[in-house]
């Protein structure tokens, strides 16, 4: 059976790749699983096509990390991979799901040997029960001819490791863009000359659970009207004229399908019939019965939709109508009878009372432990038909993936032993559930810690609010945002000042940003960068100017840029890719322009740092490879591959920016926030224990080298995954990056996904981000973190903002020193005095000399000073004023005796020794 596009019957729109009638060219294997196997299933199971479907069974229970069960395809010679003729744009397949909420993917290999994973579903999208037609988009970047190596079910979440079975049928390739993925013409069985038969047509749609009867819009034609004619209505009627064969074509919405009709001289009867339908139902359920007839010399059976007699011998238990619809009424066993063409088929169906069935386990308990502490879970069973969970206390089996980190006793008592994470799996009656437990050291709030927030301006993500163009409104929004961040405990801002080769400041190198006024090149009426710097420094916050060096625009129309935009003045620097415009990193003149535009800000503004995020070369797009091969041919002859050349372009840029910054202002910090995975250890033993995108290979970011060479002052990897996430666990990546910065003059801060808090999976745990912060604090090498992005503090999802301000960040924190930039602390304050009023203690002091930028006020209960290394003793961090005498009022204190000590710190947070202690008992 061949399908064509209506406007060109010589061009196929679809080709069947695998009918799943045999296992000869199929096999199975598994990774990170207990087992996987293939078998054929046949009727009475519901199968729409042919005689069989293929059953892939899998067992992921008790496994951690990524689990996958593969159905491997072979060519006719037995080699790996089923050829995909031509250059198809999509694959489509019928899949009988088991409700496991897993991930269904395929691996496609092109003629260059490039193996690409493509998705039939999202990571948890294999969530249905029963048949469903699904498709995947074949990446356009692949070079034909292509072959399909595997279709596989995968699970990355340790919380969803179970066992199950999937059926597969009718795999097809598609070559044109159509809404219909198949037409089935029913009624084409052999017919005796002189007789008539009705034709009906069914269409397959993406997401459909069965082929759908078309009730209008179908036309039929016959290739030989001397053998058979056909009426052209939606329900066509074949009139058999004389013996022979004729092609009957059905057309609907631009898609055509044809079948061959055989007209015989004598009567043709089937050699057998068989039914397809459920073997068990519950009271109240309904389903569909299908009848198929086998004819001699025909490979596939014919679906019979009329002329068959369907009977239930036990209608009080189960009824069936003439169309095959069955309905369960009472408990018992019913026998269904079908008669057609002189044959009889039977199907026995058992009907049961609805009974509660254990569907899942619910675990209520800890997500973190302190070393030496114990805890345990409450385990509940979730049953169908029952409105509330049922506590389970017996028959539970416990396992720990890393008992050296967390052990679990036979009765479920958890004990933390060492810093790290372990997956605790609990099994009951074949159902498993798991939770990831992190073990931390006993902790107190650190005195020094970067607590940063990204403020994204591109597309008005964080500021200014889209549509706000007046300076006074934008400034109020920014002040409100900083007040919120200050109250939360944030001490560092990372503000996007050049998001798309346009600027949030007057620049010789870029037009005014469109994200300020809605129109690129329009003066906003003030200097936003100068304003933001003043507001940040008034609050004692560091300000890091965030640049996107290569991105030119969020669209690919260069004519929409201002006429004086560098990209329009130098189109030879620019490439269009993935719907956006970029400066080509391999063009030397473009690199020099970008560096000059960054140094313009370093020179003209009192920023604390220069910051890049993860965007260097763009992430791979479906449109294919980044179009810079001509530039490679011009500049990259010395490199073995274009990938090596691209990495070198980024490396030299990273190095030269750092050198230029330090030459202009040696105290300005320089940091980068790369994608969280450098390389996976499966491809490089020095990589991380992950299974995700490699930024080294995909976007040519050799972030490990930047640390090894100490080209930057801080690295801030974006570890935007939760604790225990199979492909890329937060804790595993933090451990890996900790090792990379050890003994390096490079600080490590962790980029954290505040925007994902409260969304899905592990992010639904209110303790996820607090646990991440606690995990960071286990290691001296981890100097803090940054949250993407600032606007999410307003939403306070799962109470995270309150948790930070009232608990984790309740004590102020100094930014860690960078002694390789400056290790000379100012002198301690002098002439410290304390006076009291009815409402406050007023402190006054003079500078002890040096380049102090702020002062740290320590307060202790009683008449003696305590430890200056404990953050809880910090009363306030006060910015240096222009006055000779500095002051601070400690208001609202309770009656008692207090001792104060003051230190001075410079812009790079080198802190002096403590001043002379002063003790005071405020007046009542």
For 602, phi and psi rounded to 5 degrees? -60, -40
Q: Which residues pair with 415 in a beta bridge?
A: 374, 407
Confidence class of residue 2 from pLDDT cuts 50, 70 and 90? very low
In the chain the first and final C-alpha atoms are separated, in Å, by: 97
- Provide the token pair at 900: 């104060």
H or E, element range at 874: strand 874-879
Q: What is the pLDDT of residues 742-757, one digit of tens each?
A: 999 999 999 999 999 9
Classify burial at 369, counting beta carbons within 10 Å of its beta carbon; exposed 0-12, middle 13-18, buried 19 or more: buried
3-178 in CATH: which number? 2.60.120.260
73 dihedral zone (left: phi>0; alpha: psi -120 to 50; beta): beta
Phi, psi of 388 (to 5 degrees): -125, 150
Question: What residues have CB less than 8 Å from 452, skipping those under 6 apart?
Answer: 490, 491, 492, 493, 494, 544, 716, 749, 784, 785, 786, 787
CA 406 to chain CA mean position, Å: 28
pLDDT in tens, 815-874: 999 999 999 999 999 999 999 987 899 999 999 988 999 999 999 999 999 999 999 999
Mean pLDDT score across all residues of the chain: 94
Q: What token pair was written down for 709? A: 């060479």
Strands annotated E in 414-555: 414-416, 420-428, 431-440, 450-455, 492-498, 542-547, 551-553
698 falls in which pLDDT band (50, 70, 90)?
very high
Burial class (CB in 10 A: 0-12, 13-18, 19+), 788: buried
The answer on pLDDT for 308 being more than 50 is: yes
Of the candidate CATH numbers 2.40.10.340, 2.60.40.1080, 3.40.1160.10, 3.60.15.10, the domain formed by 181-264 belongs to 2.60.40.1080
Confidence at residue 6, expressed as pLDDT on a 0 to 100 scale: 33
Quick one: pLDDT band at residue 723, thresholds 50, 70, 90? very high
The answer to whether the beta carbons of residues 831 and 904 sit under 8 Å apart is no
Q: Is the pLDDT of residue 524 over 80?
A: yes
CB neighbour burial string for 797-834, b if at least 16 within 10 angstroms, e if fewer: bbebbebbbeebbebbbbbbbbeebbeebbebbeebeb
Which pLDDT does position 177 carry in this prediction?
Answer: 87
351-362 residue pLDDT tens: 999 999 898 999
Sign, Cα dihedral of 677, 683, 685, 691: positive
Contact 826, 906 (CB under 8 A): yes
What is the structure's pLDDT at 9?
A: 32
| H or E segment and range at residue 659 | helix 642-664
Task: Report, as an integer, the average pLDDT of 234-261.
Answer: 92
Q: What is the pLDDT of residues 67-97, one digit of tens each?
A: 999 999 999 999 999 999 999 999 999 999 9
The 10s digit of each residue's pLDDT in 414-424 is 999 999 999 99
How far is residue 670's CA from residue 706's CA, in Å, rounded to a whole number?
11
pLDDT band at 924 (very low <50, low <70, confident <90, very high): low
Confirm whether 3-178 and 358-440 share one CATH topology. no
**Are the C-beta atoms of residues 593 and 697 closer than 8 Å to each other?**
no
pLDDT at position 235: 82
CATH architecture of 358-440: Sandwich (2.60)
Find out whether 44 and 349 touch, Cβ atoms under 8 Å. no
pLDDT band of residue 227 (cuts 50, 70, 90) is: very high
Task: Report pTM.
Answer: 0.82
Mean pLDDT of 594-612: 98
Element (H, E) at 483: helix 471-488
- Taking the C-alpha atoms of residue 462 and residue 453, their distance in angstroms, rounded to an integer, is 11
> pLDDT by residue (tens digit) across 420-453?
999 999 999 888 899 999 999 999 999 999 999 9
Q: Which of 254, 93, 84 is nearest to 175 (CA)?
A: 84
Q: Give the C-alpha distances (Å, rounded to integers) separating 207 from 93, 96, 120, 165.
A: 10, 12, 11, 19
169 Cβ contact list (under 8 Å, min separation 6) = 19, 20, 47, 48, 49, 50, 53, 54, 93, 94, 96
Closest among 370, 473, 430 to 771, alpha carbons compared? 370
Question: Does residue 796 have a cis peptide bond before it, meaning omega lies within 30 degrees of 0?
Answer: no
H and E: helices and strands count for the chain: 13, 60
Strands 450-455 and 492-498: parallel
Write phi, then psi, for 894 (nearest 5 degrees).
-85, 160
Q: How many CB atoms lie within 10 A of CB 431?
A: 16
pLDDT at 143 over 90: no
Token output for 873: 């003793």
Q: What are the residue boundaries of the structural domains of the chain, listed by start?
A: 3-178, 181-264, 272-352, 358-440, 450-808, 830-920
Structure token pair of residue 555: 């669209």
pLDDT at 465: 96
CATH top-level class for 450-808?
A: alpha beta
Phi-psi region of 761 (alpha: psi -120 to 50; beta: other; left: phi over 0): left
Q: Taken in order 875, 880, 882, 885, is the CA torsion positive or negative?
A: positive
435 CB burial (10 A radius; 0-12, 13-18, 19+): buried
- Which is nearest to 747 in space by CA: 666, 816, 646? 816
Euclidean distance between CA atoms 516 and 504, whole angstroms: 7
Tell me the per-residue pLDDT of 732-744, one tens digit each, with 9 for 90 and over: 999 999 999 999 9
Q: What are phi and psi of 318, to 5 degrees?
A: -150, 135
> Residue 233: what pLDDT?
73
Share of the chain above pLDDT 70, in %: 98
pLDDT of residue 13: 82
pLDDT score at 622:
75
What pLDDT, in 10s, does the model give residues 12-36? 689 999 999 999 999 999 999 999 9
Indicate if the pLDDT at residue 131 is higher than 60: yes
DSSP string covering 602-639, please? HHHS--SEEEE-S-SSPPPBTTBS-S-HHHHHHH-TTS
pLDDT at 8: 34
Q: Which residues contact 245 (CB under 8 A, 6 or more apart)?
A: 224, 227, 260, 261, 262, 263
Task: Give the long-range contacts of residues 499-502, CB within 8 A, separation 24 or more.
Answer: 499/456, 499/457, 499/458, 499/548, 499/551, 500/458, 500/548, 500/551, 500/552, 500/553, 500/554, 501/548, 501/551, 501/552, 501/553, 501/565, 501/566, 501/567, 501/583, 502/565
Within 10 angstroms of residue 6's Cβ, the number of other Cβ atoms is 14
- Are 428 and 396 contacting, i.e. CB atoms less than 8 angstroms apart? yes
The CATH number of domain 830-920 is 3.40.50.300: no
Does residue 4 carry a pLDDT above 50?
no
**Domain spanning 272-352 has what CATH number?**
2.60.40.3440
Rounded CA-CA distance 453/111 in Å is 45
Confidence check: pLDDT of 595 > 70: yes
């Amino acid at each position: 059976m061949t399908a064509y596009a209506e406007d060109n019957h010589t061009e196929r729109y679809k080709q069947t790749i695998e009918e799943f009638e045999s296992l000869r060219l199929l096999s199975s294997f598994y990774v990170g699983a207990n087992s996987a196997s293939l078998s054929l299933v046949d009727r009475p199971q519901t199968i729409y096509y042919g005689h069989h479907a293929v059953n892939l069974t899998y067992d992921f229970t008790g496994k951690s990390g990524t689990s996958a069960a593969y159905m491997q395809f072979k060519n006719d010679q037995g080699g790996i991979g089923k050829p995909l003729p031509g250059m198809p744009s999509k694959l489509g397949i019928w899949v009988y799901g088991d409700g496991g909420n897993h991930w269904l993917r395929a691996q496609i290999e092109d003629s260059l040997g490039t193996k690409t994973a493509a998705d039939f579903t999202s990571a948890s999208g294999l969530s249905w029960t029963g048949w469903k037609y699904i498709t995947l988009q074949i990446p356009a970047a692949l070079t034909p001819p292509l072959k399909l190596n595997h279709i596989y079910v995968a699970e990355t979440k340790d919380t969803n490791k179970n066992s199950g079975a999937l059926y597969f049928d009718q795999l097809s390739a598609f070559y044109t863009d159509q809404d219909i993925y198949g037409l089935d013409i029913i009624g084409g069985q052999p017919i005796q000359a002189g007789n008539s038969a009705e034709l009906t047509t069914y269409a397959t749609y993406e997401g459909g659970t069965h082929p759908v009867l078309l009730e209008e819009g179908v036309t039929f034609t016959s290739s030989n009207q001397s053998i058979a004619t056909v009426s052209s209505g939606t329900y066509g009627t074949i009139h058999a004229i004389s013996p022979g064969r004729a092609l009957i074509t059905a057309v609907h919405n631009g898609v055509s399908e044809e079948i061959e009709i055989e007209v015989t001289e004598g009567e043709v009867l089937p050699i057998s019939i068989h039914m397809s339908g459920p073997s068990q139902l519950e009271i109240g359920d309904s389903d569909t019965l299908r009848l198929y007839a086998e004819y001699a010399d025909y490979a596939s059976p014919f679906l019979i939709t009329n002329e068959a007699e369907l009977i239930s011998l036990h209608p009080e238990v189960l009824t069936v109508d003439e169309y095959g619809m069955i309905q369960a009424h009472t408990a018992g066993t019913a026998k269904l009878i079908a008669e057609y063409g002189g044959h009889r088929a039977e199907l026995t169906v058992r009907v049961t009372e609805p009974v509660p069935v254990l569907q899942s386990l619910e675990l209520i308990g800890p997500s973190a432990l302190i070393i030496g502490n114990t805890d345990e879970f409450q385990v509940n069973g979730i049953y169908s038909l029952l409105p509330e969970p049922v506590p389970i206390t017996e028959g539970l089996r416990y396992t720990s993936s890393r008992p050296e980190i967390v052990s679990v006793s036979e009765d479920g008592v958890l004990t933390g032993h060492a810093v790290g994470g372990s997956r605790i799996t609990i099994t009951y009656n074949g159902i498993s559930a798991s939770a990831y437990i992190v073990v931390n050291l006993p902790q107190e709030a650190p005195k020094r810690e970067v607590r940063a927030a990204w403020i994204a301006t591109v597309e008005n993500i964080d500021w200014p609010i889209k549509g706000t163009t007046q300076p006074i409104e934008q400034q109020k929004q920014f002040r409100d945002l900083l007040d919120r961040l200050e109250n939360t405990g944030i001490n560092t801002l990372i503000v996007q000042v050049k998001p798309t080769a346009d600027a949030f400041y007057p620049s010789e190198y870029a037009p005014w940003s469109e994200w300020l006024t809605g129109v690129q090149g329009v003066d906003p009426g003030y200097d936003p960068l100068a304003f933001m710097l003043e507001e940040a420094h008034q609050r004692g916050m560091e300000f890091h100017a965030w640049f996107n060096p290569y991105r030119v625009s969020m669209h690919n129309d260069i004519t929409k840029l201002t006429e004086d935009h560098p990209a329009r003045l130098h189109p030879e620097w620019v490439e269009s890719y993935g719907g956006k415009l970029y400066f080509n990193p391999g063009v030397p003149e473009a690199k020099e322009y970008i560096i000059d535009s960054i140094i313009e800000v370093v020179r003209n503004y009192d920023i604390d740092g220069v910051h890049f995020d993860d965007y260097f070369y763009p992430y791979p797009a479906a449109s294919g490879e980044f179009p810079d091969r001509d530039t490679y041919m011009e500049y990259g002859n010395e490199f073995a591959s274009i990938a090596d050349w691209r990495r070198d372009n980024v490396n030299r840029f990273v190095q030269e920016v750092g050198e230029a910054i330090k030459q202009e202002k040696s105290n300005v910090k320089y940091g980068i926030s790369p994608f969280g995975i450098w390389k996976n250890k499966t491809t490089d033993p020095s990589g991380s224990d992950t299974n995700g995108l490699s930024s080294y290979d995909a976007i040519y970011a050799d972030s490990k080298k930047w640390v090894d060479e100490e080209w930057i002052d801080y690295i801030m990897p974006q570890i935007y995954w939760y604790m225990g996430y199979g492909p890329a666990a937060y804790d595993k990546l933090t451990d890996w990056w900790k090792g990379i910065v050890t003994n390096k003059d490079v600080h490590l801060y962790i980029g954290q996904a505040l925007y994902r808090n409260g969304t899905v999976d592990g992010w639904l745990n209110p303790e996820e981000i607090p646990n991440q912060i606690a995990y960071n604090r286990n290691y001296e090498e981890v100097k803090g973190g940054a949250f993407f992005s600032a606007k999410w503090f307003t939403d306070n999802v799962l109470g995270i903002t309150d948790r930070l301000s009232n608990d984790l960040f309740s004590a102020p924190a100094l930014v860690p020193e960078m002694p390789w930039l400056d290790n000379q602390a100012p002198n301690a304050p002098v002439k410290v005095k304390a006076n009291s009023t009815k409402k406050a203690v007023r402190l006054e002091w003079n500078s002890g000399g040096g380049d102090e930028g702020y002062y740290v006020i320590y307060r202790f209960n009683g008449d003696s000073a305590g430890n200056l290394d404990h953050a809880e003793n910090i009363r306030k961090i006060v910015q240096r004023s222009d006055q000779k005498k500095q002051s601070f009022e400690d208001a609202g204190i309770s009656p008692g005796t207090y001792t104060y000590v003051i230190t001075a710190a410079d812009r790079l947070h080198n802190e002096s020794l403590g001043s002379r202690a002063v003790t005071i008992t405020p007046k009542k």
